[in-house]
Amino acid sequence: MCVGCGARRPQGALTRLTVTADGQPGLDRGGRAPGRGAYLCGPACLAAAVKRRAFQRAFRGKVQVLETGALAAALGG
């Protein structure tokens, strides 16, 4: 399920994010990084996820100050 828009899609159609060592959500390109994961449909859902504070909930508060610029660039948007 996308944490931004709430759409249910097959796991392969979503982009997985995990918390990096510096406390930021980062792309998990291989889909095998350890720890909790959050999924986005694409760059359009990033703003909705930030507004809903979805990353803090999905990662149980482990996200520090969220830098959306770097994440949006990594998502391609």
pLDDT of residue 77: 66
pLDDT of residue 74: 86
In CATH terms, 11-75 corresponds, of 3.30.1230.10, 3.30.450.20, 3.40.50.300, 3.30.70.260, to 3.30.1230.10
For the chain, the straight-line distance linking the first and the last C-alpha, in angstroms and rounded, comes to 20
The full set of domain ranges for the chain reads: 11-75
pLDDT of residue 1: 96
Residue 76, phi then psi, degrees to nearest 5: 95, 20
Average of pLDDT values for 68-74? 87
Tokens representing residue 53 in the block: 């504070």
Q: Over the stretch 10-61, which tens digit does the pLDDT of each residue have?
A: 999 999 999 988 888 889 988 889 889 999 998 889 999 999 999 999 999 8
d(CA 73, CA 76): 5
pLDDT of residue 23: 85
Q: Is the pLDDT of residue 62 over 90?
A: no
